[in-house]
Amino acid sequence: MCCQPHVNIGKVRLVATMADLDKLALAMPQATKEISDDGRPSYHVHGKLFCFHRGQRPDAIDPGTGERMADVLMFRVADLDEKDLLLADDRGLFFTTPHFNGYPAVLMRIPTLKRIEREELRDLVVEAWLTRAQKRVAKAWLAENEPEGDDLQ
């Protein structure tokens, strides 16, 4: 199921789901999907990983249960400054582990998807894809899909 509705004081917004992640990732040019033996998806462009459902690792422990987390997504980000910006988000959506120290990626638990809108997930997927796509492919996609210039200047 895609785009779960979420009512917010008389206003309906579409929250993100794993189905949305799959659809958004595979909509990116030359993106491919691989499924691990235990059913976890990973998304690649030109053989380079840009997003995946991470397996249970000793560095990602649920603080409530003490168990290894089985519901962690990893998104590549442009650089460590972008990572720091996302980690500083007041909503507490993103986290990292010692394994990712010095690596441009953020982690998010799958249940957290329901706390973001589909458009925010789209932005995460696009940014992750852009970090791994060939420059000419990324440039062509941006020319077709992103507005010219920056209106905030």
Q: Determine the pLDDT at residue 8.
A: 46
- Torsion, Cα 51 86 111 47, to 10 degrees, reads 0
pLDDT tens digits for range 38-56: 899 999 999 999 999 998 8
Residue 103 pLDDT class (50, 70, 90 cuts): very high
Distance CA 50, CA 20 (A): 16
Q: What tokens were used for 146?
A: 């992103």
Nearest to 107, CA basis, from 76, 64, 66, 62? 76
Q: Determine the pLDDT at residue 35.
A: 94
Please tell me which residue, 121 or 6, carries the higher pLDDT value: 121
Q: Which amino acid is at 114?
A: K
Residue 68 pLDDT class (50, 70, 90 cuts): confident
Contact 5, 14 (CB under 8 A): yes
Distance CA 100, CA 29 (A): 27
**CATH assignment, 4-133:** 3.90.1150.30
Distance CA 127, CA 64 (A): 31
pLDDT tens digits for range 127-143: 999 999 999 999 999 99
DSSP one-letter string for 48-64: EEEEEEEPP-TT-B-TT
Residue 147 pLDDT class (50, 70, 90 cuts): low
DSSP one-letter string for 78-92: SSHHHHHHHHT-TT-
Give residue limits of the domains in the chain: 4-133
pLDDT tens digits for range 93-102: 999 999 999 9
